[in-house]
Structure 1
Amino acid sequence: MIKKMLAMACLAIVFTACKKEVTTNNTADEVNISARFNEMLDNYYEEGLQLNPVQATFTGDNRFNDQFPNPLADETVAKVKGYYTKYKQELEQFDDATLSDSEKMTKAILKWECDMNLEGFRFKQDYFPIDQMWSINLVAGQLASGASAQPFKTVEDYNNWLKRLEGYLAWMVSAEEKMKEGMQQGYVLPKSLILKVIPQLEALTVEDLDKHLFYNPVKSFPEGFSEEDKKQLTDAYGKMVSEKIIPAYKSLHTFMSTEYLKAGRESSGISDVPNGADFYNYQIKLYTTTNMTADQIHELGLAEVARISSEMETIKEQVGYKGDLKSFFDHVRNKKELMPFTEPQQVIDNFNAIHDRMKPQIEKLFDVKPKTPFEVRRTEAFREKSASAEYNPGSLDGTRPGIFYTPIPDVTKYNTYSDESLFLHEAIPGHHYQISLTQESTELPKFRKTLWYSGYGEGWALYSESLGKELGLYTDPYQYFGMLGAEMHRAIRLVVDTGLHAKGWTREQAIQYSLDNEAESEAGITSEIERYMANPGQALSYKIGQLKIRELRAKAEAALGDKFDIRQFHNEVLETGCVPLALLEDKINNWIAASK
């Protein structure tokens, strides 16, 4: 007590003299802690690239373009586990009280990353290495085409891909081995998904090199290559494709089309594999970044389907259609005026025209725009039949554009009614703005520039669809119906994904529910349902995230009144990049409080 009184007296007497020294010491400590924290983040990012060199290539970091560590190998799995365990422990050395608000958010995000990735190892996901939409072989096909992230500009680039292919070939062998193990343990894909994978593999068994996707890079060398280099590379690629790639695909195709297909399960949901119910709960948390249950999400989905159906009825009446809503879906699906194209390029041109129409309005909603260029491209032929429209990010340095891929398997049946909402979602201001602004940020640590949380990222993209009228679109009632259809599509996902994986629904039940409630074609709906079967929970993220962002916007508008600035709200949502939804809500609440 005396010591405490003496200390207080000292502080009172010499406070002015001591203040500068104390402040200096505190500042020095804070700088030291911040420096150590940032060094840890840099190390986490760098080690992450080395563990996932393909991801490094997609970000535009070309140091590891010749590497493909096999993610199914025990050695790789052990390294990845060790990586997340190590950084989870290092995080504990930093007390929140010593960190800035930005650093606290980064710490919370990194802890989430470590916890969720380590928890994921509880489940036998390696028994499902291949499916029709999400798996590594499809990424490899994109890279092999010569038109994706893998560069083919120098002789070294061409040789790097040959070396990387050796690692990919090892993965193909491991994939077959893992599926055989899975068959013995009760982990096998539904038959309907296997039937979609088989033709994808078969397409890469073609022996005519000029028709083989993996031979593409040597069919169009850059200028400046010597004839000697061209011949050496052409021979090397011919040998790689004919002696290694084609046999590997033949082996995998034979296995999947015979014994694996025979073992394929008749059930549709993940709950029918060992520990499937727990895995689905994990997937819900992973993709929505919430603690919602399957039952809560299912009920929310039913309510949203009912709400959107009511809005659809209004549009049906506006265009003068006299039948019921279900027959109106058929009317929209089959309306010849909505299928005007004869050449695939016309589809691309239409998306570019949508972009031109909205350009004059974009600054009313966004005062910060990405520098990364943007393109619309047709989805590659080898995966087009089972692909959805999608966005591939540009490189971190902006030298490779962001690309909106759209599948056009049959241009004469291509229906335009949802093109405006699709462009808003996949392109601008959806994924292209959200991802590019994150990558271009000078404030975020490197690892946060390439993070992806579906609840936030897909939530933002679906929220972007609702901005169409503010951006000068949706003047045609069919295009507005397309937006409602797209939102309905995501609401239906809440019902059918939980139905498939938690409530025992069959594939056919899920398809019929979708046909009853939206205007998508049966072929498109079937591909979608099978997509949800292949990756349980992912489809939930869109609507959960959109509803949260809309809720936060409404809250800010009500709280701030005339002070509410939509551009600033969008800046607040976008500037911190992908974050779990709870952290986004905390951030917006703090912004509202500070803006009052």
Structure 2
Amino acid sequence: MFKTAAKWIALALLTVLVIGGGLAAHEWYAKKPLFFRVFVDREMVKMAFDSPETLTSLGFLESLGVKGHNARLDDDSPAKADEMLERVSDIRATIMEYDDASLNESDRLSKEIALYLLDFAEESKPYRYHNYPVNQLFGIQNGYPSFMEAQHQVQSVEDAENYLARLNAVALKFEQNLEGIKLRTDRGIIPPRFVIERVLTEMNDFVATPAQDNILYTSLQTKLDETAEVTAQQRTELLAEAERRIRDSVYPAYQMLIDYFAGLRDVAGDDDGFWHLPQGEEAYALALKLFTTTDYSADQIHQLGLQEVARIQAEILEILTTQGYQTDAGFTPAIEALAADPRFYYEDNDAGRAEILKDYQAILDEIAAGLDDAFNIRPQAGMEVVRIPEFKEKTAPGAYYQQPAIDGSRPGRFFANLYDIKATPSYSMRTLAYHEGIPGHHFQIALGMEQEGLPFFRRMSPFTAYVEGWALYSEQLAWELGFQDNPFDNVGRLQAELFRAVRLVVDTGIHHQRWTRQEAIDYMRANTGMALSDVTAEIERYIVMPGQATAYKVGMMKILELRSKAQQQLGEQFDLRDFHDVVLQNGAVPLSILERLVDDYIEQKQAS
């Protein structure tokens, strides 16, 4: 399905560009095309074609022999960002010209979702610089090599030459990012000192690595080894050129950022929350609105978190008591005793880490074979478990999911962090696999991409409360379906939910209640029992991504609330598979819209 859809998209676009006449040309060039879906799809395609990195990630042009974009990187200049903001305003104005009465039901929903996104973009304009483009989690300094390693495919000499071109292009990309960072500095938007120290350590380690040991070199080397289209002589020449460009182009680009951040460290402070920035309180309130798709205040979210922490901890203690653990002294000693039990850990070596990856895959294969009673539809894209690249795993989260390529050339990937073996107790693995893989992110994201009846933007909508809420809901769903019948696996599930409840407390604590980084670390460590390395990475993530961590629990609770509502009102008519169809087949949506969709489903079911 992916390959067919991708070829249709590419061929349709190329046809429009080549023919240059008739209806096709009108629909491409008209300010307001005749059909609403044509307009929103056209704008998405235009944005994709304006982003070489997006085109590489989607991977749909390569099957047609179109590869020129793979030699370029995105334009990250502030001027380009200004241009994009103007385009957002123009798109919104055109969308408003489509009268609801002329649209079918699906297009009306698409219009509503598009306006939700565009209105938020307009509301966010005054706070466009309230972020840290270079940080320890997702900055350009680690995003660039990760992109080259994971996304840039090399199956020919041309592909390798495009890879080399991107090694040269990084200098301009870093200059553009630095221009934006300087604009933020002028506005008083400076990362906390610890963030600067983290990225300086990361970048200094990166440039201190011999070129032949750098991931940019070793990744190309591996890709060349895996293709028969490149001769031994060509391979030698290409790798020699890669070494030269890493040394002469890539490392100087990194050094430019190192020099700037070394100076910025001297003026940075130790206040970690957004509250310390100019208009920081307003920016944080907007971040909460973006990530939760609600109007919950920081105080509401904080109190909700405290209540959920108390409830979940009580459930965990009850299970541990039945399993013979001493719980009289309270939650922290009991959970620390569980965490210290050596029977739950793998060997701290390469063999142990390989076994973890193997067991993750077995967990996913098992649940994939047992979901017929819960799902009518499943994604066609496959998925695999891989390790987070070692060069960045020290500061990376415990796991993350990467969507499949739209043409089917790359499966969905569950990236597992194996840096600290103590952060992967066996009783937590099922829950993490269900969240990142099946039926969590992989089901929701891959299925969304495969819904050919939806506009492109709805197949990839960035509503975090929905996306992460579904993944957290999937953890509980797997337990309800019997895949965590071991009491310790259930403790792992509850610990994961507790983790998300704690996030409500610490995110709002840092950015609204003015907690320090250490206060947040202490609270999370005391109330989750997680490894200190994981806690530290998580808290530092919340500091550079305000509000995002609150989306998980808010989204999960809304999905559970809507399921309970449907069960109560439909009684014997309720079918879990149908409910999941409603949630998944419309793509990611704001929680308010999801509630209306479920209400419509209930009403239609009752009338049938």
Q: Do Structure 1 and Structure 2 share a fold, with TM-score over 0.5?
A: yes
Contact 1:315–1:481 (Cα < 8 Å) also in 2: yes
Indicate the residue corresponding to 1:198 in structure 2: 200
Counterpart residue number, 1:341: 347
1:509-534 superposed Cα distances (whole Å, 9 cap, x missing partner): 11121122112112211111110001
After TM superposition, what 4+ stretches of structure 1 lie above 4 angstroms from structure 2? Answer: none
TM-score by length of 1: 0.90
Alignment of 1:206-245 (within 5 A): 206-220=208-222, 221=224, 222-245=227-250
The equivalent position to 1:511 in structure 2, one of 521, 529, 537, is 521
Q: Which residue of 2 aligns with 1:329?
A: 335
Matched residue, 2:142:
138
Moved more, 47-56 or 460-469: 47-56
Aligned match of 1:154: 156
Q: Is the 8 A contact 2:273 2:515 kept in 1?
A: yes
| Maintained 8 Å contact 1:341/1:412 | no
Shift of the 74–557 alpha-carbon distance from structure 1 to 2, 3 Å rule, reads same
Query: Which of 258, 269, 276 is 1:253 aligned to?
Result: 258
* Aligned equivalents of 1:479, 1:195: Cα separation in 2: 38
**SS at structure 1 position matched to 2:594:** helix
Deviations 1:111-169 (A, max 9, x none): 12222223333114276210111223322111222xx1221112222222333344432
Contact kept in structure 1, 2:469 and 2:554, CA below 8 Å: yes
Percent of aligned pairs with the same residue? Answer: 31
State the one-letter code of the partner of 2:304.
Answer: L
Alignment deviations for residues 24-64 of structure 1 (CA, whole Å, 9 cap, x no partner): xxxxxxxxx99521221221111110233322322223453
RMSD (Å), alpha carbons: 1.9
Aligned to 1:309: 313
Structure 1 residues 476, 594: CA separation in 2 closer, same or farther (over 3 Å shift)?
same
2:578 equivalent to 1:571:
no
Looking at structure 1, the residues matched to 287 and 89 of structure 2 have their Cα atoms a distance apart, in angstroms, of: 20
Q: Give matches, 1:345-360, under 5 Å.
A: 345-360=354-369
Q: Please, which of 418, 423, 432 is the counterpart of residue 422 of structure 1? A: 432
CA distance in 2, matches of 1:506, 1:127: 18
Measure the CA separation in 1 of the matches of 2:214 and 2:479: 45
| Larger Rg over CA atoms | 1
Counterpart AA for 2:393: E
Say which of 349, 366, 369 aligns to 2:375. Answer: 366
Cα 1:276–1:175 shift into 2, 3 Å: same
Q: 1:542 to 1:486 in 2, by over 3 A?
A: same
Hey, what's the Cα distance between the residues in 1 that align with 2:596 and 2:166? 43
Superposition pairs of residues 24-39 of structure 1, within 5 angstroms: 35-39=34-38
Structure 2 residue 266 is matched with structure 1 residue 262: yes
Structure 1 Cα separation of the partners of residues 79 and 185 of structure 2: 23
Structure 1 match to 2:45: 46
| Shift in Å, 1:582 | 0.9
Residue deviations 1:511-564, cap 9 Å, x none?
121122112112211111110001100001101110010000000110111111
Letter in 2 for 1:39: V
Is the contact between residue 155 and residue 229 of structure 2 (CA under 8 Å) also seen in structure 1? Answer: no
Paired AA for residue 337 in structure 1: R
Deviates more, 1:309-318 or 1:216-225: 216-225
Determine the structure 2 residue equivalent to 1:69: 74
Counterpart position of 1:495: 505
CA distance in 1, matches of 2:166, 2:212: 21
Task: Give 1:547's match in structure 2, choosing from 554, 557, 581.
Answer: 557
Distance in 2 between residues matched to 1:231 and 1:360, nearest whole Å? 45
Shift of 1:180: 3.9
Shift in CA distance, 226/510, structure 1 to aligned 2, threshold 3 Å: same
- The one-character-per-residue Cα deviations of 1:350-409 (angstroms, maximum 9, x if unpaired) are 112212332442111112111101100010011111111000000112221000000111
CA contact (8 A) 1:462 1:487 kept: yes
Q: TM-score, normalised by structure 2?
A: 0.88
Give the equivalent residue in structure 2 for 1:96. Answer: 100
Match of 2:22 in 1: none
Matched, 1:405 2:410: no
In structure 2, the residue matched to 1:381 is 390
Query: Does 1:58 pair with 2:63?
Result: no
Residue identity in the other structure for 2:371: I
CA contact (8 A) 1:69 1:76 kept: no
Which consecutive residues of structure 1, in runs of 5 or more, have no partner in the other structure?
A: 1-32
